[in-house]
Amino acid sequence: MNSSATELEDHATAVRDRQIAAAIIFMIAFPGVIFNTLVAMFTRRLPTLNNSFGRLTASQATGEIVLCGCFALHYVPMVALNIEVMKEFSHYVGVISLMCSDVHIMNLKACDQSVKV
């Protein structure tokens, strides 16, 4: 009887920990989607950013929108609700996240090269 109560308590702790982790990730990812969307929109409208730096900034923000969106809309529900179907297809979301991360890194390298010139 005691081991059953311990198992229930461990399960409840694991669920709570998953939900806390998902909430923290959502609090970071969702504002990331919002603010990167604003950056991507305003780099096109501001005359001071109508140059290569503005295009690189918009490109980087677009990659970050997709990356943060993947975390906010796929990873958070998968972790918080322990959805098995989402876990089965998470490798596709991982590939998309990896591509967005590569866009981010390449844009940083391009910005670094443009500053050196």
Give me the residue spans of the domains in the chain.
2-116
- Helix, strand, or coil (residue 9): helix
Q: How far is CA 111 from CA 37, 39, 56, 68, in A?
A: 20, 16, 7, 22
Find the range with the poorest average confidence among 5-9, 31-35, 90-94: 5-9
The per-residue pLDDT for range 43-101, each reduced to its tens digit, is: 888 888 888 888 888 888 988 898 899 999 999 999 999 889 999 988 998 898 888 88
What pLDDT is recorded for position 117?
57
Model confidence at 20, pLDDT cuts 50, 70, 90, reads: very high
Q: Tell me how crowded residue 36 is: count the other CB atoms within 10 A of its CB.
A: 21
Tell me the C-alpha distance between 61 and 37, whole Å. 7
Residue 79 CB contacts under 8 Å (≥ 6 apart), including other chains: 18, 21, 22, 25
pLDDT of 31 higher than 90: yes
Return the pLDDT at 112. Answer: 66
Q: In whole angstroms, how large is the CA radius of gyration of the chain?
A: 20
Please give the model's pTM, rounded to 2 decimal places.
0.77
User: Range with the lowest mean pLDDT among 9-13, 41-45, 103-107?
Assistant: 103-107
Determine the average pLDDT of the residues in 12-18: 90
Answer yes or no: are the C-beta atoms of 44 and 36 closer than 8 Å. Answer: no
